[in-house]
């Protein structure tokens, strides 16, 4: 199978400070979604449901029929038009009774497809065991792939848009609170202090204090409600330094990197390839014939198994593009980056997913 490397040169990291709104880098503690889950049955399948080997499905069907006055021994049930499923959904913060939810349906047994099925009423519970929503409706599988299509169509999972109804609310009286806490999406001492100072400067009083590198304690001013206060806090601009990071997805061969992540001088041998990265490197005459124009001032030459790169500032962006143009496979590029990181020539954080 041939992999294709996709280079997303996103501005994930900079060495300079950037202005960001607090809502983009922090959350209000207590204001969050809650996950709910339930077990149910999808009926109306055209012979594509669970087989007789899925005993839990047969028992569940028998139990369901008893609730409507039909008693039947599970041993006598041979239907393949029913499938046992798990139903999941996210309960938004401050969701009220009657609000609609999108729910996800996933097969538990050996059903071949849930296409055309209908989910019977299913209770969705939280981690505390209480029922927070009910779900029922026609299952939507999603897009179809014709001949020559891309990804495979997974028909044993689907959705019901608006198929859940909130029955129980997660109570959180934020209006009558005098204090609130912000939680940074990424722990950072400088960012916590920057948010503290930015809020205090905006309101012209000491109402925010960073109690650790992730949490900022807030005190509501006397002349505003908590809702008004938090709405203003989330819109405050603060100085924020993004963390330098390289993200590698080994499964797809995708590399996501900031364009300014520097690679220090280093020499690496990987398989049949030798990579030499050095500032002010002088190319030999026979190297110039095989040089690659990167269109950004970076001089790169390939002489059989030797890759020379010269520039005053070599970046991960330059290196990955050069290797890609030379025909290096994704797994080789990923391995090279990991090795350079281990050698200390890349100071940015490298995260493999």
Kindly report, residue by residue over 187-239, the tens digit of the pLDDT: 889 999 999 999 999 999 999 999 999 999 999 999 899 999 999 999 999 98
Q: Give Cα 195 to chain centroid, integer Å.
A: 25
Smallest Cα–Cα separation from 166: which of 123, 128, 137? Answer: 123
| HSE (side-chain half, CA atoms, 13 Å) at 38 | 25
Check if the beta carbon of residue 178 is closer than 8 Å to that of residue 220: yes
Higher pLDDT, 315 or 141: 141
C-alpha triplet 220, 189, 17: angle, nearest 5°: 95
C-alpha triplet 238, 230, 15: angle, nearest 5°: 15
Compute, in degrees rounded to 10, the torsion defined by CA atoms 220, 226, 227, 229: -10
Check if the beta carbon of residue 164 is closer than 8 Å to that of residue 102: yes
Kindly report, residue by residue over 97-144, the tens digit of the pLDDT: 999 999 999 999 889 999 999 999 999 999 999 999 999 999 998 754
Higher pLDDT, 197 or 336: 197
What is residue 69's DSSP assignment? T
Smallest Cα–Cα separation from 276: which of 305, 297, 255, 248? Answer: 305
Q: How much of the chain, in percent, has pLDDT values that exceed 90?
A: 41
Q: Give Cα 88 to chain centroid, integer Å.
A: 17
Higher pLDDT, 71 or 166: 166
Q: Which of 99-108, 168-177, 186-195, 337-346 shows the lowest mean pLDDT across its residues?
A: 337-346
pLDDT at 130: 95
Burial class (CB in 10 A: 0-12, 13-18, 19+), 347: exposed
Phi first, then psi: give them for residue 142, nearest 5 degrees. Answer: 120, -160
Q: Is the pLDDT confidence value at 342 over 80?
A: yes
Higher pLDDT, 169 or 11: 169
According to DSSP, the β-strands at 266-270 and 273-277 are antiparallel
pLDDT at 302: 47
Q: Which of 4-13, 248-257, 278-287 shows the lowest mean pLDDT across its residues?
A: 4-13
Kindly report, residue by residue over 237-276, the tens digit of the pLDDT: 998 777 777 887 777 777 777 777 888 777 777 777 677 7
Higher pLDDT, 343 or 86: 86
Higher pLDDT, 290 or 101: 101
Q: How confident is the model at residue 7 (pLDDT cuts 50, 70, 90)?
A: very low
Which sequence spans correspond to the domains of the chain? 18-31+175-240, 34-166, 245-352
Neighbouring residues of 277: CB distance < 8 A, sequence distance ≥ 6? 263, 264, 265, 266, 267, 309, 314, 319, 345
In 220-257, which positions are buried (b, 16+ CB within 10 angstroms) versus exposed (e)? beeeeebeebbeebeebebbbbbebbbbbeeeebbbbb
pLDDT at 143: 56
C-alpha triplet 270, 276, 282: angle, nearest 5°: 155
What is residue 196's DSSP assignment? H
d(CA 34, CA 130): 12
Phi first, then psi: give them for residue 306, nearest 5 degrees. Answer: -115, 125
pLDDT at 306: 53
Higher pLDDT, 296 or 18: 18
Higher pLDDT, 71 or 115: 115
β-strand partners of 350: 246
Q: Which of 76-80, 299-303, 305-309 shows the lowest mean pLDDT across its residues?
A: 299-303
d(CA 321, CA 165): 50
d(CA 225, CA 306): 66
pLDDT at 58: 79
pLDDT at 100: 96
Task: Tell me the mean pLDDT in the region 29-48.
Answer: 92
Write down the architecture of domain 18-31+175-240 according to CATH: 2-Layer Sandwich (3.30)
Model-level pTM? Answer: 0.64
pLDDT at 62: 82
C-alpha triplet 246, 249, 252: angle, nearest 5°: 140
Task: Tell me the mean pLDDT in the region 283-304.
Answer: 44
Higher pLDDT, 50 or 99: 99
């Amino acid at each position: 199978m041939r992999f294709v490397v996709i280079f997303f040169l996103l501005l994930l990291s900079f060495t300079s400070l950037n202005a960001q709104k607090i809502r983009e880098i922090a959350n209000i503690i207590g204001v969050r979604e809650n996950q709910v889950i339930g077990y149910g049955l999808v009926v109306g399948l055209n012979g594509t449901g669970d087989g007789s080997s899925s005993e839990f499905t047969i028992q569940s069907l028998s139990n369901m029929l008893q609730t409507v006055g039909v008693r039947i021994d599970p041993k006598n049930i041979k239907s393949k038009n029913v499938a046992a499923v798990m139903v999941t959904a996210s309960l938004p913060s401050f969701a009220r009774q009657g609000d609609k939810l999108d729910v996800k349906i996933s097969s538990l047994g050996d059903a071949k497809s849930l296409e055309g099925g209908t989910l019977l009423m299913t209770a969705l519970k939280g981690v505390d065991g209480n029922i927070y929503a009910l779900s029922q409706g026609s299952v939507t599988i999603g897009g179809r792939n014709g001949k020559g299509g891309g990804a495979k169509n997974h028909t044993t999972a689907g959705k019901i848009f608006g198929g859940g109804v909130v029955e129980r609310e997660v109570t959180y009286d934020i209006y009558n609170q005098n204090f609130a806490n912000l939680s940074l999406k990424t722990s950072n001492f400088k960012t916590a202090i920057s948010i503290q100072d930015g809020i205090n400067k905006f309101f012209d009083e000491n109402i925010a204090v960073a109690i650790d590198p992730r949490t900022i304690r807030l005190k509501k001013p006397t002349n505003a409600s908590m809702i008004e206060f938090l709405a203003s806090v989330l819109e405050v601009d603060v100085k924020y330094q993004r963390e330098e990071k390289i993200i590698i997805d080994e499964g797809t061969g995708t590399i996501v990197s900031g364009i300014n992540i520097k690679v220090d001088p280093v020499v690496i041998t990987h398989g049949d390839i030798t990579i030499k990265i050095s500032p002010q490197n002088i190319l030999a005459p026979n190297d110039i014939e095989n040089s690659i124009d990167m269109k950004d001032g970076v001089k790169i030459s390939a002489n059989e198994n030797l890759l020379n790169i010269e520039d005053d500032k070599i970046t991960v962006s330059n290196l990955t593009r050069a290797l890609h143009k030379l025909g290096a496979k994704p797994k080789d590029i990923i391995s090279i980056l990991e090795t350079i990181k281990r050698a200390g020539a890349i100071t940015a954080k490298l995260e493999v997913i």
